[in-house]
Structure 1
Amino acid sequence: MDLFHSFSSLPPIFALSIFLFALVWILKTSLKSITQKREAPEAGNSWPVIGHLHLLRGPKPPHIILSNMAEKCGPIFTIKMGVHRALIVSDHKTAKECLTINDKAFASRPSTLAMEYLSYNHAMFAFAPYGNHWRQLRKLATLELLSTHRLEQLRHVRESEIKTSLKELYQFWEEKKDGSDTVLVEMKKWFKSATLNVILRMIVGKRIPSSTNDAESEKWKTSLKEFFDLSGKFVVSDALPYLRWFDIGGDERLMKKVRKELDEVAEGWLKDHKGKRSSDKLNKSNDGFMDVMLSIATDTEKHDADTINKATCLALILAASDTTMVTLTWALSLLLNNKDELRKLQEELDIHVGKDKLVEESDMENLVYLKAIIKETLRLYPAAPLLVPHESMEDCTVSGYHIPAGTDYL
């Protein structure tokens, strides 16, 4: 009996079932093939094992190198970083798609050496993977420090600190002025001191005077700078984990040192606040964020309450101080090199604020040109030219391309 006769003898319903099954299988296979073909393009010049790492070694900074690659590969492409694959997005439309439509898919963070050591093993919510810990701490920081109500409560702290910093600048001028009444001031250093003191007052109720030469204070400021350098630095063992044992470049050893120094400072703050609480010396109308955390933070499966408190406070201090200093330094530099814009800004300040008082936060509503200058500075010279890396938790589609789970997003 031949094959055709065998099928022709089957009941019509059974034969139809086999036909439909075959059709579904063919369609499914075809769709899978189409999906696989729609993977994001990979940049060229990839080497075995290390991928594109040799292209990122410098001397140009990574964001310039990636920008040059985008000119050849388009606004969305992938690169191989050792054992990891990273998605590179360089236009606002695609970035918006990643951070709005696919915001939950890209909500997590990759695990890196810096995040392990510098963030108390991912206790800092800025570096924590997406989950309950991240959601709770983000909500707490928003409500207890960054909400409109809380910021208004702490306005006097910011205004007081700015006045104090300006007085210290004036005293410096009095001491150092020469016959022409001019003094050279390193404004980057002054901006850093002023912004750091503002955020310190809001978080822990302390400040570091600009004129201090205290060795411990200078050591802590150095640790802050090293934190930023290390948190954004590419470490070979992140791409090639089997090389971690060698600690190429000594980055792991330096991270341990910085972590210890920052933790010692945060631990001192925490002990001071606990001592005030036990002796009823707290000023309830001027509680810092660390005091709020002492009342709210609880132990979790991975971290105790004190570690969460220190990690969260340090994350907020680190995030606010350096970025603000960089933006203000660039804004001042751009104004000094564009005299017409500087003159227009001075005219706006004279009209809406006057020459006999300091600019206050309430004046910003009328200072349209000043706000435009700040926005243009952020556009031209962002404090962080690359995002803190994200990692896709699930498969998703970006610009029609299939992005598998576990892909880093830059």
Structure 2
Amino acid sequence: MIDHLLSLQENEHEYYSDELIKGIIMVLLIAGTDTLSISLEWAMALLLNQPEAIKKIKAEIDAHVPEDRLLEEQDLPNLTYLQNVIKETLRLYPPVPLLIPHEASEDCTVAGYHVSKGTMLLVNLWAIHRDPKLWEDPTKFIPERHQERRDDGFTMLPFGAGRRGCPGAGIGTRVLGFVLGTLVQVFEWERTSEEMVDMTEGRGFSIPKVEPLEAICRPRRAILQQHSLVPP
């Protein structure tokens, strides 16, 4: 992409300045890094509060991934429960709860309210994803709800929708699934105490945890045996 931007700079130097190119790349890196790390932290926090969900992911990986290798991207389509965990995490804790600001391109009426052309629009994902009219037990972490649910594109939209949807949605969900699945495959996880993980949300453009996640992990014995680090 940088190479392409630099080629455009040759013909449109005044527009494609070094500052503009640096800004574009910085936005891509920050947007992709921050949202993924936040989503991964929320996913692990939810799983630690529901150990049975971790066991289900582990059993699914063990059933579909050979013992002699680690999880790979090509395995992800077969790990449906892991995908449902990711969907449920993004439903409860969308990394950008108000999406990126949009603008009304023409006068329109929404839910009986007149919206003038040029009005800034903020889509409240937090409210949509937790609307009891759309979701049963909306505040509960229930990955199974996505097993047979068909998404119409407007009740579950952590990456936005339409032409202005996030272009990184596909790679974002794949990376999140790959990292989360590998963490569960390789390590045993537990809370630092018997108390549940604090799920209080922080403030900001994104939605971080107030208290950073702390957990105890140790390599799974099967992984250690696989690499001859412990006796069978």
Report the TM-score, using the length of structure 1 for normalisation: 0.28
Which protein has the larger Cα radius of gyration, Structure 1 or Structure 2?
1
- Which structure dedicates a bigger proportion of its chain to helix? 1
Report the TM-score, using the length of structure 2 for normalisation: 0.48
